[in-house]
Amino acid sequence: MIATQQKYLEHQLAEKDFKLNSLLEITKAINNNLPVDQLIKIYMYVLKEQLGFPRFVLFLKQKDWEIFCKSGIKGKVKEIDVERDLIRFKESTEIASSHSSLLQEFETIVPVYHKGTPLAFLLFTTNPKSQFNLIDEHSNTNFIQILTNIIVVAIENQRMTRLSIIQERIKKELEVASEMQKLLFPSDLPSNRRMDISAKYKPRHEVGGDYYDFIPLGDDEYTICIGDVSGKGIGAAMLMANFQATIRTLFNYQRFDMEFLMEELNKKVMRNAKGEKFITFFIAHYNATSRELTYVNAGHNHPFITTGKKVEYLSEGCIGLGMLDELPFIDVGKKILQPNTTLVLFTDGVVELENDSNEQFSVERLASTVNAFYPLKMEDLTNLIFSKLDEWRGTNSFVDDTAIFSCRFF
């Protein structure tokens, strides 16, 4: 009797030592920041070699539920649907009977939850001949649950750390891209006896697809343009940066008539975007001596000119660039500008901005705002328009890139 009791106590002590050593080994591996595959090897060694489990499988939630490790199981285990077959188990449960023949191949289910969210499910079968065979079944199940919890949480922490690092890297890259994009916009817009020009751009995200530019062509001639890429994000920003570089390059070498220029730009957009994106674009050439404004509107929101009362929209042009391999038509518009004429260019983020009643700001409201505050300098007028947009949207956010480019010709 005494010998039997002593043997039982020795077995209990050995089991406690085993559990403690296993937990210490796992904890040490985690503290040493071992990769996930090594953590899983240690975990499987404990289950398979030390506990002697002949059959087990660990389902782990990543993007979807995955079989993270298994032993003693054939391919059929893939037929187990976690959402259908396992999600109902909230605590460690012995599988007495189940509608699933696959689940009946196991004895116990051990779920791992964190803040009410399921992270993993361990299914296993014990070996009756194992030296640590469930002297205290409840205690051993608790040990397995603790062991699984530690491993799963460690894996989840590593995954979250990787995501955090990736997100931080993306954030830094976007910050750099945003700073680089700012360099593409003209920083020195003229305000002199001939003209007063101001512009403001508010991207929806770190980088955007709106663009405007002012290109002097000598003392008396200037090119003014604005554009908007379909779509958002880095892809749109890259396409627009390339587009701007093309325009600048073309004007650095020679001047082109509007038809030829639009044809070349359309070819460039088609090559770069491969039909997946297009650009709406407005470009104007202004001669300060003749006061002639020559323009083409390639599917862009109609800019307008006004002297404070009558508003004229500039609609002559063609379809958006990159929509078709060849532009089916190109109409060139021409206007002689009266002194103190204001030209306002904008992107759809301005006029399509909605208030709490889902009503758009509209081009008519923009034009009436410009006329109502016509005496203001262009910088003050631009800032006032953006303040009006803030008032209009109320609790809503800007849902698109937003740009305004205003020019007054004296």
Q: What's the mean pLDDT in 295-311?
A: 94
Indicate if 262 and 372 belong to the same structural domain. yes
> What span, in angstroms and rounded, lies between the C-alpha atoms of 146 and 158?
18
Helix (H, G, I), strand (E, B) or coil at 407: strand
What CATH number corresponds to the domain at position 212? 3.60.40.10
Residue type, 380: D
Segment holding 129, helix H or strand E: none
User: Which residues form the domain of 129?
Assistant: 2-162
Is the confidence at residue 98, as pLDDT, over 70? no
Residue 179 placed within a domain: no
Predicted pLDDT at 134: 45
Q: Which residue has the higher pLDDT, 182 or 146?
A: 146
Helix (H, G, I), strand (E, B) or coil at 346: strand
Is the confidence at residue 207, as pLDDT, over 70? no
Work out the percent of the chain whose per-residue pLDDT is above 70: 84
User: Which of 17-21, 152-156, 182-186, 310-314 shows the highest mean pLDDT?
Assistant: 310-314
Residue 90 placed within a domain: yes
What secondary structure does DSSP assign to 235-255, as a single string? HHHHHHHHHHHHHHHHHHH--
Indicate if 227 and 320 belong to the same structural domain. yes
Indicate if 21 and 112 belong to the same structural domain. yes
Indicate if 191 and 120 belong to the same structural domain. no
In the chain, how many H helices and how many E strands?
Answer: 8, 16
Residue 107 placed within a domain: yes
Is the confidence at residue 20, as pLDDT, over 70? no
Q: How many domains, in total, are found in the chain?
A: 2
Residue 170 placed within a domain: no
Is the confidence at residue 410, as pLDDT, over 80? yes
The pTM assigned to this predicted structure is: 0.61
Residue in the structure block whose two tokens are 């674009």 = 281
Residue 212 placed within a domain: yes
Indicate if 200 and 340 belong to the same structural domain. yes
Could you tell me if 366 and 350 are in contact, meaning their C-beta atoms sit under 8 angstroms apart? yes
- 46: phi then psi, degrees, rounded to nearest 5: -65, -45
Query: Strands 292-298 and 333-336, how do they pair?
Result: antiparallel
Please state, rounded to an integer, the average pLDDT across all residues of the chain: 83
Indicate if 120 and 239 belong to the same structural domain. no
What CATH number corresponds to the domain at position 127? 3.30.450.40
Burial of 315 from C-beta contacts in 10 A (0-12 / 13-18 / 19+): middle
Residue 321 placed within a domain: yes
